[in-house]
Amino acid sequence: QGPPRHRTQRGQGVARAALRTVTGWALRDLGVPRLQLYIEPWNTASARIAEDIGFRREGLLRGWQQVGDERRDMAVYALLNSDGPVDGRAVTAH
């Protein structure tokens, strides 16, 4: 029979929902002033999700992270608590 198959979550909105939930919790409930994401420049799907939620690309960090045996560039995205709604939802600290 072989190993059981599993469905991929790609394209199902799982990453978007998870990032929205964690971002809202951190900004609204914890009052974190700034969140940052590091995304490899080729990962356009993750960059699109980050931007849709409200993160802004701030720049490219060359050779930022060691991955395996090589240094990789990372694009840095940030969201400030003062930036306003996340993905259409208010996140200001109470």
Q: What is the pLDDT of residues 41-53, one digit of tens each?
A: 999 999 999 999 9
Distance between the two ends of the chain, CA-based, in angstroms? Answer: 55
Q: What is the pLDDT of residues 2-29, one digit of tens each?
A: 455 555 555 668 999 999 999 999 999 9
Q: Pick from 37, 32, 33, 82: which is nearest to 56 by CA? A: 37
Look-up of token digits 């059981």: 4
Output the pLDDT for position 13: 83
